[in-house]
Structure 1
Amino acid sequence: MSQWISIYSFPLSKDLGALARFIQRYQLPLRITEEKNQQLLLCPDAGLAEMLKPLLQRWDSGELDLDQVQMQRIEDGVPVSEATQVSAAATDSQAGDTEGNPNKKNGDAVSVLPSFPLDTTPISLLLIALCFFGWFLQVNNLSSGLMIYPDQGGGDTFSESSLAWHLGQGQWWRLFTPAIVHFSLPHALFNALGIWILGRPIEARGGSFLFIVLVLLGALASNLAQYFWQPGVKFGGISGVIYALVGFALVLQRFQPLWRDIPIEISIVFLAWILVGILGIVTLLFGVAISNAGHIGGLLSGLIIALVYCALGGARRFAPT
């Protein structure tokens, strides 16, 4: 296993935004950490570290702009001029960034979702599988044991509600399991995609324990919000949990601005979807009801969890690598 070595240190006051963009743009094997009141740049390759040092020194002294630095591939055995060595210090390739896209210009920024080993995101993969399992149960009329029965309008107090009856029977799992049930294949596909895009980056960086807490509290908050808002309506789906992830990402990026595994544009799209649901556009056009209260409940839970997590210093785990 490679040993991470420190190749450069910066004061805490140094804005490393340009460096983080440079690392992400060319997918360099570098990691930024904070230790002993300084910011360290780590690298697993001593050769790469030696080539990067001159570039970092020039950027640190203000001689060059990393946003303008372009890299080119250095082929084995081919002599390289000094100028090329500076622009290609990371031994990565501009051609590699444009492979398969001949129309891409050299100066264009690359914006792609990061990939993570599957074994670092087991809970996310389990949730994706549960989306389709919940759809299978629903279409085969096997999901009733997971749902909260809709109230039929007979009681005016919580003690007379269907949820109180479930809890009185010891069926506490119904507070969480409606998130598993999906009413159509597109419903399951859309939510599985949301977990893949939002869940895996958070679980891979923050760990499975944090992710489990987010999922459970997000499901609890969204299910209760939707039930109490419309107690007479049957509901299900993991979208409330997805909105908990959106809320978590929004707050986390305020505390850890260099973390870009989830682009802000994706969170904006999800927030816009809440507005679309509240306005009733989807219901009007497609006749599909949207769990607006569940989405908002999940979002608020994610915001609160992230605030507590970041206040305890957890945002450091999301420093770019």
Structure 2
Amino acid sequence: MSHWTTLREFPLDQDLTELARFIQRCHLPLRISEEGNRQRLSTPDPRLGDLLLPLLDRWSAGELDLDQVRVEPVPAEPPEAGPAPDNAATDAADTSADNTSADNPGTEPPPAAPAQAVSTLPSWPWHRTPLSLVLIALCFIGWLVVRENLEQLLAIYPQPSGGFSPGNSSLAWHLRNGEYWRLWTPAILHFSLPHALFNAMGIWILGRPLEARAGKLAFAALVLIAAPVSNLAQYYWSPQILFGGMSGVVYALGGSVFVLQRWQPQWSDVPAGIVALMVGWLLICATGLFTFIFGVGIANAAHLGGFVSGLLLTALYCLAGGAKNFAASGVRENDTTA
């Protein structure tokens, strides 16, 4: 495992988005992390410090625009050429530094070690995503509840056979008895361990970036609205069927990501193609093929209801100005990248 050396520290309130874009664009072996109430720029190759620190000094002083700086390889000297005098190396370094001004951007020498790609996917600190972690825990708690045959405490009772009307439904009976929690709690129930694992993974991939960027309040509003919407969609679609699972919430997160990735195309905390995969899975399940082959029922209405609610709620969020929190895929205040 590489040993990472700290090149420079920055205060938490300093916006390092431009630096993060520079690292990503030039494929430099650097990372930005939050440690000890500071933002740290680290590298596995300490030799990079001699090349980058003068550049960072000028950037911090406002003399340099990193978006105008590019890194290009320097051709190696022919084998027959003799070693250059010591002062030649110094002159070359001085010339390179002079050429990286904002008025006349030049080239920056590459690190001695070969450049390697840097991941842009954040590894969020735990305190930034507590609600997502609670949802993940609830997936497995719901599985244990079903194992102990206690799901009747949280589920919406299936509608008895016969005519169905909203006023005389099993759901109406729950509400008349003050059991309003049943609008939300079916999302907790999971009827198998793979079901719980799948939804927990969806929340980990989609939920944590959304919560970390949008904040706990906006994320909680999305979940608390999407859960009953997806549950009600599934109940009214198939009132005679017992259902449960966090899939409707996960699809709401997918709908949210779909809107945000189009509102802010540079935001890349969530891997590209995830939402397309989710929509493809929804369409496959809607055909009944999965149920026909494996004999497992799929809450397609809950998926669709959650996805649509995620689309609409996030569109409202963006119209209200919330999209600015997703303006860049780079590191913002208190973000941690790995």
Partner of 2:108: 86
Change in 2 beyond 3 A, CA 1:281/1:308: same
Which amino acid in structure 2 is aligned with residue 22 of structure 1?
R
Cα separation, 2, equivalents of 1:207 and 1:197: 16
Which of the pair has the greater relative contact order for Cα pairs under 8 Å at 6+ separation?
2
Moved over 6 A (4+): 6-9
Q: Please, which runs of 5 or more residues in structure 1 have no aligned partner?
A: 10-15, 31-42, 71-78, 98-108
User: In the alignment, which residue of structure 2 is the partner of 1:192?
Assistant: 200
Structure 2: which 5+ residue stretches go unaligned? Answer: 1-8, 34-38, 42-48, 75-88, 98-106, 332-338
Which residue of structure 2 lines up, in the alignment, with residue 314 of structure 1? 322
Is contact 2:210–2:219 with CA below 8 Å preserved after alignment?
yes
Distance 2:291 2:198 in 1: 17
Distance 1:313 1:58, change over 3 A: closer
Assess if the C-alpha contact under 8 Å between 2:187 and 2:231 holds in 1.
Answer: yes
Describe the superposition over 1:235-281 as per-residue Cα deviations: whole angstroms up to 9, x where unpaired.
00001000000000110111211110012211111111101111222
**Aligned counterpart for 1:215 among listed residues 219, 223, 228:** 223
- Which residue, out of 32, 50, 59, partners 1:29? 32
Give RMSD over aligned pairs. 3.5
SS of the equivalent of 2:273 reads helix
| Equivalent in the alignment of 1:35 | none
Matched, 1:51 2:73: no
Question: Which of residues 115, 132, 141 in structure 1 aligns to 2:123?
Answer: 115
1:302 aligns with 2:310: yes
1:121·1:200 contact (CA, 8 Å) conserved in 2? yes
Aligned residue for 2:5?
none
For residues 269 and 292 of structure 1, the distance between their equivalents in structure 2, rounded to whole angstroms, comes to 15
Measured after TM superposition, the shift of residue 205 of structure 1 is 1.0
Secondary structure of the residue that 2:270 maps to in structure 1? coil
1:99-178 equivalent positions in 2, closer than 5 A: 113-178=121-186
Instruction: Indicate conservation of the 8 Å contact 2:30/2:118, yes or no.
Output: no
Q: Is the 8 Å Cα contact of residues 225 and 297 (structure 1) preserved in structure 2?
A: yes
Could you tell me which amino acid in structure 1 is paired with residue 108 of structure 2? V
Computing the radius of gyration from Cα coordinates, the structure with the larger value is 2
CA distance in 2, matches of 1:260, 1:69: 27
Q: 1:94 to 1:126 in 2, by over 3 A?
A: farther
Q: Could you tell me how far apart the structure 2 residues matched to 1:195 and 1:243 are?
A: 10
After TM superposition, the structure 1 stretch with the greater mean CA deviation from structure 2, 275-284 or 141-150, is 275-284
Checking the alignment, whether the CA contact within 8 Å between 2:23 and 2:118 is kept in structure 1 is no
With over 3 angstroms needed to count, the CA separation of the structure-2 counterparts of 1:23 and 1:257, relative to structure 1, is farther
Q: Distance in 2 between matches of 1:194 and 1:123?
A: 14
Q: Secondary structure at the match of 2:243?
A: coil
Residue 156 of structure 2 aligns to a residue whose secondary structure is coil
- Aligned length in residues: 276
Q: What secondary structure does 1:29 align onto? A: strand
Structure 1 residue 49, shift from structure 2 partner: 7.2
Match among 275, 286, 296 for residue 267 of structure 1: 275
Query: Which of 259, 269, 284 is equivalent to 1:251?
Result: 259
After TM superposition, give the deviation of residue 51 of structure 1 in Å.
1.6
Q: How many Å apart are 1:17 and its aligned residue?
A: 11
2: CA distance, partners of 1:165 / 1:217: 22
User: How far apart are 1:112 and its partner, in Å?
Assistant: 6.1
- 1:6–1:158 Cα change, 3 Å: closer
Normalised to the residue count of structure 2, the TM-score between the two structures is: 0.71
> Do the aligned residues in 2 keep the contact of 1:123 with 1:208 (CA within 8 Å)?
yes
